Amino acid sequence: MKSLPRRPLTAGLAAVACLALATPAAAQPGNRTVLDGLTRDQTAQQVAAAAQQAKQNHRKGHGARISNPTLDAALAQMVADGAVGVTGRLESSTTTWAGAAGLRDKDAKSKAKPNDRFRAASNTKMMISVLVLQEVQKGVWQLDQPVADVLPTLLPDHSEVTFRQLLSHTSGMPNGTNELLFRHITDPSSQEQFEAAVKRDYAPQEHIDAINDAPWTTPGEMLYSNAGFVALGMLLEAQNGTSLQTLLRERVFKPAGMHQTTFDLEPRLTGAALHEDGWLGEADGWMELDQFDPDLLWAAGAVTSTTADLNDFTRALFSGALVSPALVEQMMTPESGAPLHYGLGLYRITDPCPSDDANPYLYGHDGAALGTLSVAFSSPDGQRQFSVGVTGRDLSTLQGRVNLNDVLVPMLQASCPAA
């Protein structure tokens, strides 16, 4: 990682320094604000708003008229607004499109390409959920079974926590990434401490130790928790006697045809990839993230993928190729109504396309790494998919310089079947 000039941090960056892939908010050691959850909520709100806007536009007769040049222009606009690189893909009965704009790295001349890899971050959670539900399908686990049955010492003060609660973020467990970073950031204004913390190599147990030492909220309320999925990763490894990397490769990536997807445990993306950079504002400039260690996310977000592979994953999932249709239905059923209609490892948004179907929603997830935002959604029949990856994330404000809706709205409109 190229160090930034050693200067006192601005108020915005001081907040970033304790965010854990988050948006600035009330950042002081010990503060219980779920910073990463706020960021994801912000991204999810953009996705939901895009679906609503696309639905309104479609009702006005603009649906399937969206052209590929319009989608290409939307990506170019995101770069003009401040993104470094953007890649998007849409596959439906009426439109097949893939595009890219910007650069693979802000300091290089190599242009972004449609098949470039990027950090998929919390889209990983859909894949971890598939592994858990495969254990349920085999009869090894039950959704409402306490995880203490598998690892009694995992959550010693919360032995009642179930698989369903971890998958739906309703166990009361805190975010975890924030609590983990605060163990290594004693001064929120210290750029040096922040850089060291995000480059540090973390063991899964460190995530769990951090939340076991922190206060929990009331079970049943949704509180977005990265640590909950770290716990699920540890449970999967304990149950199967093999690494999570192997389980994902053999039971998710291969059967879904995700040939460019990996579960990364080491820093630095290689090959054809969109490299991460985070914008810290005019005063502090760019933070290069080549030395960011994905162990900071592990089972909650260490997957690197492409838009093609993310579409292949959601198509395989909703076509019943990874788990049974009955369990996919369980995944889609919301366990909470606020801030997200979140099921088991995924959430739903309004389907903008007119339909007589009893399920008028699209399902998927979003991801927010330090320098990358991503989205992957599908119709429940597996017939329409769209995904986006954006690097050059603005960490200085809640709103950011780039609005995902600029590309999501036309993508959603273009996905609608012809009238």
pLDDT in tens, 217-274: 999 999 999 999 999 999 999 999 999 999 999 999 999 999 999 999 999 999 999 9
pTM of the full predicted structure?
A: 0.88
pLDDT score for 108: 85
In sequence order, which ranges of 6-123 are alpha helices (DSSP H)? Answer: 11-16, 35-59, 68-81
Q: Higher pLDDT residue, 13 or 149?
A: 149
> When comparing pLDDT for 314 and 31, which is higher?
314
* Cα 34 from Cα 409, distance rounded (Å): 28
Give the DSSP H or E segment for 348: strand 347-350
Q: What value does the mean pLDDT of the chain take?
A: 85
The burial class, CB within 10 Å (0-12 / 13-18 / 19+), for 156 is exposed
Residue 28 has pLDDT above 50, yes or no: no
Q: What is the SS3 assignment for 270? A: coil
- pLDDT of 39 above 70: no
Sign of dihedral through CA atoms 264, 268, 271, 273? positive
The amino acid present at 186, given as its one-letter code, is T
Q: What is the average per-residue pLDDT within 157-174?
A: 97
Rounded distance, CA 126 to CA 317, Å? 9
Say what the pLDDT of residue 103 is. 97
Does 1 have pLDDT greater than 60?
Answer: no
Give residue 53's pLDDT band: very low, low, confident or very high (50, 70, 90). low
Q: Residue 105, exposed/middle/buried by CB under 10 A (0-12, 13-18, 19+)?
A: buried
Q: What is the pLDDT of residue 43?
A: 67
Query: Per the structure block, which two tokens stand in for 386?
Result: 């769209």
363, 381 Cβ separation under 8 angstroms: no
pLDDT band at 29 (very low <50, low <70, confident <90, very high): very low
Give yes or no for residue 298 having a pLDDT over 50.
Answer: yes
Query: Over 80: is that where the pLDDT of 94 sits?
Result: no
* pLDDT for 38 beyond 50: no
Q: Where are the beta strands (DSSP E) in 96-166?
A: 96-102, 118-119
Which pLDDT does position 52 carry in this prediction?
Answer: 53
Q: Indicate if the pLDDT at residue 212 is higher than 50.
A: yes
Q: Mean pLDDT across the stretch 1-19? A: 31
Q: How far is residue 376's CA from residue 308's CA, in Å, rounded to a whole number?
A: 10
340/103 Cα distance (integer angstroms): 33
Mean local confidence (pLDDT), 177-189: 90
- CA pseudo-torsion sign 300, 301, 302, 306: positive
Between the alpha carbon of residue 325 and those of residues 242, 275, 331, 333, 381, the distances in Å are 27, 36, 10, 12, 10
Parallel, antiparallel, or unpaired for β 303-305 and 118-119?
A: antiparallel
Instruction: Name the residue with higher pLDDT: 51 or 279.
Output: 279
C-alpha distances (whole Å) from 227 to each of 21, 112, 159, 181, 409 are 13, 32, 16, 12, 32
**Domains along the sequence of the chain with CATH:** 11-415 (3.40.710.10)
Give residue 2's pLDDT: 33
β-sheet with 118-119: strand ranges across: 118-119, 303-305, 262-263
Q: What string of DSSP letters covers 244-264?
A: HHHHHIIIIIHHHT-TT-EE-
* Bridge partner residues of 279 (DSSP): 286, 394
* Residue tagged 């049943």 (tokens): 220
- Position 404 scores a pLDDT of 87
pLDDT tens digits, one per residue of 377-396: 999 999 999 999 999 998 88
Exposed e or buried b per residue across 295-308, where buried means at least 16 C-beta atoms within 10 angstroms of its C-beta: bbbbbbbbbbbbbb
Q: Pull the structure tokens for residue 1.
A: 């990682």
CA distances (Å), origin 22, targets 212, 335, 378, 379, 385? 21, 24, 26, 28, 27
pLDDT interval class at 280 (50, 70, 90): confident
Count, residues in the chain: 419
**In what helix (H) or strand (E) does residue 86 lie, and over which residues does it extend?**
strand 85-91
> What's the CA gap between 332 and 326, in Å, rounded?
10
pLDDT band at residue 8, thresholds of 50, 70 and 90?
very low
CA 76 to chain centre: 23
Which pLDDT belongs to residue 76? 96
**Are 23 and 398 within 8 A, CB to CB?**
yes
Question: Which residues, in sequence order, are bridge partners of residue 111?
Answer: 103
Average the pLDDT over 158-166 and give the result.
Answer: 97
| DSSP conformation class of 160 | T
Task: Look at residue 4 in the predicted model and tell me its pLDDT.
Answer: 33
Do residues 290 and 105 make contact, with C-beta atoms less than 8 angstroms apart? no
* Strand arrangement, sheet containing 361-368: 96-102, 85-91, 385-391, 372-378, 361-368, 347-350
- Position 18 pLDDT exceeds 90: no
Tokens 């999810």 correspond to 44
